[in-house]
Structures are given as C-alpha cells and as structure tokens.
Chain A
C-alpha cells in the first residue's frame, strides 16, 4: 500500500504560470482534501471532495481548481500562480474511525512562486 502519493515534491514557478499538483490514494477512501501550510498559519483547507464527481470549497479556495473524476485521484490546479501561493501543499484522504474521518496525509509538495 502506497497510501497517499503526491507529485511533484518540489516545484518552482514564475508568476502567471499554471501547474497541477497530483494526488493519488490507493486506500479506497471516499474523502480527499487539499491543505496548504504556511509558517504561523497552520494547515488551511483549500478544497475537498466527498466522492467521485463531488467537490467543494474550503477556507482558502481562490486561485485553485480541483476535480474528482475517480476515487483515487484528486489533482489541484493553479491557474495563474502568484507569489502568495508559495507554500507547502498537503493532500489527504480519509477513512472513518469511531464515526470520525481520520486524515492520512501525503508527503507534501513544496511550491515556490517567483
């Protein structure tokens, strides 16, 4: 079991460029989500999905798009990168335990926008 796999691990972009952060999980989890982590800010939810074909916005969705065409994949698209999007991005998927959803995180993708 690979768990949650994110690619790339590191990326440098110029302002205005677009890119996609890939996320795949092999645990058959229904729920997937994207967070960004910035110093002093904690993890903030960007977008999430409760199943294939269903996505919704989190706390900081502006500048990002997502889609969920399969259970396994949940890519995050930056349409026009800005320096404010420099961050570490974590994809996570969820299983249920005692009625809650426990997040399993990917290893993270460190993005720098110049």
Chain B
C-alpha cells in the first residue's frame, strides 16, 4: 500500500513562484505523476518523474528524490488560470495495468 501526503491548500500571488510538495511511502515505487484539476473538470496530465532529478516543461517543473520519497511541483510566473487542484499520484509495481494511487490534492489559489 501507499501513503501520499500533500498540503491541502496554498495561496500565492500572480507572477510569483510556488512549490507544491508531495511525500510518499511505497514498497515498489515505479513513477510519480502530477495532474492539474480545475473545479468541476477532469484531471489533466502535467508531468512524470521516474528517475531522480528535475523535469522542466515551460512554466512547470517537477522534481523527484526516490531515496527521500519526495517530489515537488514548481510553478513559475503564476497566472490566475493556475488556480486549481494539483494531484500527486504514485505508481507502484510493474507490468500491465495502471494502478495509480492519488494524494488528496493541493488546492492552489492565485491572487492578484
């Protein structure tokens, strides 16, 4: 089984940088995902990390440390449209199937 922790809520200012942390405990780590979910909409894929280090995609970056069971999502140059819930999800095991375990999400509010 897995335990995934992320902060419930965060608030940041437009144009600023925000870091959303995710810690996990798992017996067979095989990748970590970040998804964005706007209110009343479906989650959409942001990033994937399976090796240690930083993955950068435009304004969004994601970092992974497998030894620490830790990841973060970094959002730069925040925009109002970035107000959403950010879901950390861990894949455990290998082979077929897509059994992801999701954290409860971090609700980010971007203010003027």
Q: Which A residues have a C-beta under 8 Å from some C-beta of B?
A: 31, 33, 35, 40-45, 48, 50-51, 56, 58-59, 90, 92, 94, 97-108
Q: How far apart are the CA atoms of A6 and B43 in the complex, in Å? A: 14
Q: How far apart are the CA atoms of A3 and B89 in the complex, in Å? A: 21
Q: Which of B42-81 contact A (CB under 8 A)?
A: 42-45, 48, 50
Q: Is the interface of A mostly helix, strand, loop or mixed?
A: strand
Q: How far apart are the CA atoms of A51 and B101 in the complex, in Å? A: 20
User: Is A106's CB under 8 angstroms from B98's CB?
Assistant: no
User: Is B43's CB under 8 angstroms from A98's CB?
Assistant: no
Asked, given contacts A48-B98, A94-B98, whether A42 binds B104 with beta carbons under 8 Å apart, the answer is: yes
Closest to A59 in B: B101
B109 within 8 A of A: no
Specify which chain A residues have a CB less than 8 angstroms from the CB of B91 in the assembled complex: 100-101
Q: How far apart are the CA atoms of A104 and B105 in the complex, in Å? A: 18
User: Is A99's CB under 8 angstroms from B100's CB?
Assistant: no
User: Is A98's CB under 8 angstroms from B42's CB?
Assistant: no
User: Is B99's CB under 8 angstroms from A43's CB?
Assistant: no
B102 within 8 A of A: yes
Query: Distance in Å from the Cβ of A90 to the closest Cβ of chain B?
Result: 6
Specify which chain B residues have a CB less than 8 angstroms from the CB of A103 in the assembled complex: 33, 35, 43, 45, 98, 100
User: Is A42's CB under 8 angstroms from B105's CB?
Assistant: yes
B20 within 8 A of A: no
Specify which chain B residues have a CB less than 8 angstroms from the CB of A108 in the assembled complex: 40-42
* 10 further contact pairs, Cβ within 8 A, besides A43-B102, A105-B44: A31-B97, A42-B87, A45-B101, A48-B97, A58-B99, A100-B33, A100-B50, A103-B100, A107-B41, A108-B41
Closest to A110 in B: B40
Closest to B1 in A: A59
Q: How far apart are the CA atoms of A90 and B101 in the complex, in Å? A: 14
User: Is A56's CB under 8 angstroms from B97's CB?
Assistant: yes
- Select A100's contact among B31, B101, B103, beta carbons within 8 Å: B31
Closest to A6 in B: B42
Asked, given contacts A90-B42, A102-B33, A107-B42, whether A45 binds B48 with beta carbons under 8 Å apart, the answer is: no
